[in-house]
């Protein structure tokens, strides 16, 4: 099996761990590329799988770097939380050994990605492919903004808020969760729309099908208001700009690791202990 190693070398310990793990990886696979800068063009690198070292941020960078050619990913957690990168370095050799015998067939779970376009007077101002979420959020002087939400061209509601998050199931445990949004199982084909500090208490998160087209119309915004995709500023926006989000043609692919079920990950990462213990 041909493997690419990716990670963020600017994070302490990642470069050292990549150097330590590479000989272990090469026992079971051929390493055809290793990039810790996020700059390598992967479009012509022939490989079957990617090993990402770091945390969920590193996996987001890898998804962006792969672009329209998404390869199955094994995420090795060198960070803290790690919803996507939930494999420990000690577990990696065993996973690779198993894959060397069984192959990837039936071992890959595909996840929803999105295409985002920002339009100004009908012209595409900026666009991107993403995995977690699109957010329209206020900037200095941090006053409320006003956004209209359209689904398949139909007006849903108008939000007065600090921002609005449109997240995939993978992104539902990120910024959207912090804003009070629900958790969506990662293999669902749906989006969740979560307002940030809405001025109207009846505004609640909405979940709808990924087969629909979502548009956020900027009605009122202060200078500094921007569209942020997967934690990166895509472009500043002005009143009357529109943000259009659709299901992408490509899917993000994660290698399923035995013993790492979806609910086990939620239970461990979110501290769902199930029973409170009092005293020493």
Which CATH number fits the domain that encloses residue 19? Answer: 3.40.50.10330
151 inside domain: yes
The more confidently predicted of residues 42 and 261 is 42
pLDDT at 275: 54
Residue 194 within a domain: yes
Same domain as 162, residue 173: yes
Start-to-end CA distance of the chain, whole Å, equals: 50
**Are both 154 and 265 inside the same structural domain?**
no
Q: The dihedral of CA 250, 254, 256, 261: what is its sign? A: negative
Rounded (5°) CA angle 121-210-157: 55
Mean pLDDT of 92-100: 93
User: Looking at the structure, do residues 86 and 191 belong to the same domain, yes or no?
Assistant: no
Q: Which residues are catalytic?
A: 56
Of the pLDDT bands very low, low, confident and very high (cuts 50, 70, 90), residue 81 is low
Q: Could you tell me the pTM of the whole model?
A: 0.91
The more confidently predicted of residues 279 and 154 is: 154
* Same domain membership, residue 159 and residue 91: no
| pLDDT at 277 exceeding the cut of 70 | no
**Residue 278 included in any domain:** no
Q: pLDDT at position 249, please? A: 97
Rama region for 103: left / alpha / beta (φ>0; ψ in -120 to 50; rest): left
Domain CATH for 193: 2.60.200.30
Q: Would residue 7 count as lying in a domain? A: yes
Domain that holds residue 93: 2-111+251-269
Q: What does the H/E/C string look like for 171-212? A: HHHCHHHHCCCCCCCCCCCEEEEEEECCCCCCCCCEEEECCC
The Cα–Cα gap between 203 and 158 comes to 9
**Residue 144 scores a pLDDT above 80:** yes
How sure is the predictor about 26, in pLDDT bands with cuts at 50, 70 and 90? very high
Per the structure, how many domains does the chain have?
Answer: 2
- Model confidence band, residue 225 (pLDDT cutoffs 50, 70, 90): very high
Nearest to 24 by CA among 79, 95, 75, 81: 95
* Average pLDDT of the chain to the nearest whole number: 92
| 12 vs 252, higher pLDDT | 252
Q: What percent of the chain has pLDDT over 70?
A: 97
Asked whether residue 122 falls in the same domain as residue 52, the answer is: no
**Rounded distance, CA 66 to CA 61, Å?**
9
């Amino acid at each position: 099996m041909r493997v690419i190693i990716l990670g963020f070398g600017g994070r302490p310990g990642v470069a050292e761990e990549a150097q330590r793990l590479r000989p272990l990886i090469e026992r079971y696979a051929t390493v055809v590329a290793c990039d810790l800068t996020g700059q390598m063009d992967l479009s012509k690198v022939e490989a079957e799988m990617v090993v990402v070292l770091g945390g969920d941020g590193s996996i987001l960078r890898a998804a962006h770097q792969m672009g329209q050619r998404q390869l199955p990913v094994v995420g090795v957690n060198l960070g803290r939380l790690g919803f996507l990168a939930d494999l420990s370095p000690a577990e990696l050799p065993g996973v690779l050994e198993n894959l060397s015998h069984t192959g990837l067939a039936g071992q890959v779970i595909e996840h929803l990605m999105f295409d985002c376009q920002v339009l100004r007077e009908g012209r595409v101002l900026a666009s991107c492919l993403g995995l977690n979420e699109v957010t329209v959020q206020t900037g200095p002087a941090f006053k409320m903004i006003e956004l209209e939400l359209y689904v398949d061209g139909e007006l849903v509601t108008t939000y007065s808020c600090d921002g609005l998050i449109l997240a995939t199931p993978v992104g539902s445990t990120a910024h959207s969760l912090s804003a009070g949004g629900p958790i969506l199982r990662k293999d669902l084909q749906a989006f969740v729309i979560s307002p940030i500090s809405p001025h109207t208490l009846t505004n609640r998160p909405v979940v709808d099908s990924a087969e629909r087209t979502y548009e956020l119309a900027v009605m009122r915004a202060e200078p500094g208001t921007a569209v942020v995709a997967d934690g990166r500023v895509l472009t500043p926006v002005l009143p009357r700009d529109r943000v259009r989000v659709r299901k992408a043609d490509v899917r993000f692919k994660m290698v399923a690791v035995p013993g790492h079920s979806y609910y086990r990950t939620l239970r461990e990462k979110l501290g769902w202990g199930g029973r409170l213990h009092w005293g020493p």
